[in-house]
Amino acid sequence: MSLQNVLDKGYVRLVNHMGSDLTVVNSARVSYAKESKELNEKDIRLLKFLAREGHTSPFRHVILQFEIYAPLMVARQWWKYIVGSAHYEGTGDSLEAWNESSRRYITEEPTFYVPAFDEWRSQPENSKQGSGDIVSWEIGKKYTDELFKYIESGVQKYEEALKDGICAEQARLFLPAYGMYVRWYWTASLQSVSHFLNQRLEHDAQKEIQEYAKAILEQSKSIFPNALNELIKNNQI
């Protein structure tokens, strides 16, 4: 299905999905042995009610599956939603799955995220986390160049280790980790997707994962326009 580029080399691709806004409605109406054949205004009012009152189980009957290619620092933030998926907001199992490519088994060419000169951000003034304004062009250029050198050195040592017969699962220790791109499949219920979006679309989320959240939103909203609109805070669709 559709692929959306993110950052310098990353992307989000909607692989598959199950259900629609109507699926959510009928999952709720089954309590009264009723079913809608086509989505209507009454159904949309029901979606609003379910989201507003926190009746979230019907939103777990629809599923989205994405392929994501992102720097490891983004992947590890994202992974927290898998670890905590059965616990947040007391909702029980939120139907999430994660399968990631592994450098124990593959030796494809390493790819890294390198911020451009005008993308390096300063430390925030009044917080221990997050980031502040863009640094000067001179400082940005310095650290883009330094990062390229650091990556080049690590990749060279990685390739030398492989050439000398070191196994891939140990040779990868030479690769600079946090900027290295990794690829994974993320399968999640609509409730889980909206939980991720509500947190990672916020202005204080790390900018890189914000960009991925925007791509997830863009690819999801055409499939579940009404349900997602009610689940996302501030109606950011």
Which residues, listed in sequence order, are joined to residue 99 by a DSSP beta bridge?
Answer: 185
200 catalytically annotated: yes
| Residue 96 DSSP SS3 | strand
The DSSP symbol for 40 reads -
Residues 114 and 71 sit within 8 Å (Cβ to Cβ): no
| Radius of gyration for the chain, computed over Cα atoms and rounded to the nearest angstrom | 21
> Given this model, what pLDDT does residue 237 score?
55
Out of 13, 60, 183, 200, pick the active-site residue. Answer: 200
Give the chain's count of helices (H) and strands (E).
8, 5
Topology classification of domain 3-105+181-235: Gyrase A; domain 2 (3.30.1360)
* Average of per-residue pLDDT across 91-100: 65
> Given this model, what pLDDT does residue 104 score?
65
Residues of the chain with CATH 3.30.1360.170: 3-105+181-235
| Residue 80 DSSP SS3 | helix
> Given this model, what pLDDT does residue 108 score?
76
| Residue 236 DSSP SS3 | coil
Q: How confident is the model at residue 1 (pLDDT cuts 50, 70, 90)?
A: low
C-beta neighbour count of 219 within 10 angstroms? 19
Q: Tell me how far apart the alpha carbons of residues 84 and 46 are, in angstroms, rounded to a whole number.
A: 28
3-6 and 63-71: which strand pairing?
unpaired
Q: What percent of the chain has pLDDT over 90?
A: 72
- What token pair was written down for 143? 């650290």
C-beta neighbour count of 66 within 10 angstroms? 23
Q: Which of 8-17, 59-68, 126-135, 155-164 has the lowest mean pLDDT?
A: 126-135
Q: Tell me how far apart the alpha carbons of residues 21 and 13 are, in angstroms, rounded to a whole number.
A: 21
Residues 228 and 220 sit within 8 Å (Cβ to Cβ): yes
Q: Tell me how far apart the alpha carbons of residues 38 and 24 are, in angstroms, rounded to a whole number.
A: 12
Q: Tell me how far apart the alpha carbons of residues 208 and 6 are, in angstroms, rounded to a whole number.
A: 9
Q: Tell me how far apart the alpha carbons of residues 237 and 219 are, in angstroms, rounded to a whole number.
A: 11
> Given this model, what pLDDT does residue 101 score?
78
Q: What is the pLDDT of residues 169-191, one digit of tens each?
A: 899 999 998 899 999 999 999 99
Q: Tell me how far apart the alpha carbons of residues 82 and 91 are, in angstroms, rounded to a whole number.
A: 14
